Amino acid sequence: MLLSANTDRVSLSLSLSLCNLTKGHSLSCYECRFNLTGSCANQNEKTCPSGFSKCMSTTTEVKVGGINAKVKAKDCAVDCVSGSMNLGTAKTSLACCNTDRCNVQDAPDPSTSAPNGKTCYSCDEKSCSNILSCSGSEDRCFKATGTIGGQSTVVKGCLSKSICDAETSVRDVQSASCCEGNLCNSAESVTQSFLFLCCSLLSFILLH
């Protein structure tokens, strides 16, 4: 199964890219590198490199083909945002702060957020017509398109406005857009390479 073969890439893909790593003052943050056990109990304190002025933490849950995985990560960041994203098959939450050791707590478990009444389309291996209930701060629908192995692929879901507003690029993604109305990210077909683009989009959340 693609996910089991790429678990490390997904975890490496899931939460440091909204946290573009660059330069800043000396800050202390906790580090928990792509922990696949669902726990950061053994997190370490580290002094951030110059220019890294934020601390971040992420929690991601992935459910594909009978495989369930929870990935947590913490680190220093040049910049980051707080919010959450739901692709249907994967949910991730991000927490960003700017004081010493402020990321001692894990990012919220995305599965515990209450539905907020908003709905968006999401994709799986067969269809992009699935209706997804958004939760927590997810007040936008989004659509991303890319090309994998010559095949055009679409990923859709819910996310927070803060993530929509973040400026970053995602490998393999040619275009991405956000909208505000229910089901505003219109349904359409999807190809078998959906999961590859899903992993690339998740890298937008995990690692730059």
pLDDT in tens, 125-136: 788 899 999 999
- Report residue 131 as tokens: 């209706």
The predicted structure's pLDDT at residue 164: 85
- Report residue 149 as tokens: 């192995």
The predicted structure's pLDDT at residue 24: 41
Residue 161, number of CB atoms within 10 A of its CB: 15
Burial of 33 (0-12, 13-18, 19+ CB in 10 A): middle
pLDDT in tens, 161-202: 998 887 555 555 567 789 999 999 986 554 444 445 555 555
**Superfamily name and number for 2-206:** CD59 (2.10.60.10)
Q: Can you give the residue ranges of every domain in the chain?
A: 2-206
Confidence band of 27 (pLDDT split at 50, 70, 90): very high
Pairing of strands 130-135, 115-122: antiparallel
Question: d(Cα 179, Cα 140) in Å, to the nearest integer?
Answer: 6
Sign of CA dihedral 61, 1, 16, 189: negative
In the numeric block, the tokens 């209450």 are attached to 114
